[in-house]
Amino acid sequence: RIPPGLDDKILASWNALTITGLVNSYQATGNEEYLNLALKTAEFLENNMISGEVIYRSYKNNHVSGQGYLEDYSTVIQAFIALYEATQNQHWIIKADQLTEFVLNEFFDKDEGLFYFTAHTSEELISRSKEIFDNVIPSGNSIMASNLLKLGVSLDKEKYRSISENMLKLMTGLVKKEPSYLSNWAILHHLTANPLAEIIVIGPDASSYINEIRTHYLPNSVIMGSKVESTLGLLDHKTAINGQTTIYVCYNKTCRLPVHSVKEALDQLK
């Protein structure tokens, strides 16, 4: 018999969601296999499905097709942010920032303050829709709102934070009426309901310190780290005091006294 057709194309968005899940699993368990698989998948996407700032939606038989939708860009950016948090490799957050600038230029409706599902340069449709409801996969807009908040804080970009905050304000009424269909927006509301802690780790043991911090559930936080001094976002002007790995706990760029142990940092977070 003729075998049934096989849908074996590779989708950017679904693989990006898998990367984020693998990173979350690695951070919860410390299983290096999860992180290695996430990195391998991200490298495949970057080498085969991303050209500059353009993401292609699908890949099959060594060919890409279809310019990515907001769903593809938002999930890939989310995955790259997660990889940076897990590895402290600045390549991933810089790439996430570049893709975010592209999304703002190509998908953003400045009048309404939300993102279109398709890019300005995509095939012209009768009507360009905006996806806001979270279903089996969270909406591109809710993921981008979260991405903008994290990048805005981490990279000290007020424009990103402002757009994220305005998006959240637009959705507040709907979240109250239809929480079941806007769960990702509700999570973002939760993240902004309390002060967001900025945790910066600088020094030779930055990775192990961050892994230890990650074993604690700290949803209202962003973490940046580096073994050496850096001018990237929150890392700017932070140093390893006396050559020791140093942790800075800050709120809105106002920092507590620097400490040298995870326990001391956790006490400050309380």
In angstroms, the CA 114 to CA 141 distance is 7
Per-10-residue mean pLDDT for the chain, 270 residues long? 91 97 91 97 97 94 92 98 94 97 95 92 74 91 96 95 95 90 91 90 93 87 92 93 94 92 92
Q: What pLDDT score does 125 carry? A: 65
- What secondary structure letter does DSSP report for 4? P
The token pair that represents 12 in the structure block? 């950017």
Q: What pLDDT score does 148 carry? A: 97
Q: What pLDDT score does 266 carry? A: 94
Exposed e or buried b for every residue in 110-132, given b needs 16+ CB within 10 A? eeeebbbbbbeebeeeeeeebbb
- What secondary structure letter does DSSP report for 258? -
Nearest C-alpha neighbor of 198 from the set 268, 95, 96, 98: 268
The token pair that represents 38 in the structure block? 């996430």
What one-character-per-residue DSSP string does 34-98 give? HHHHHHHHHHHHHHHTEETTEEEEEEETTEEEEE--HHHHHHHHHHHHHHHHHH--HHHHHHHHH
Rg for the chain (alpha carbons), in Å? Answer: 19
Q: What pLDDT score does 253 carry? A: 85
pTM tops 0.85: yes
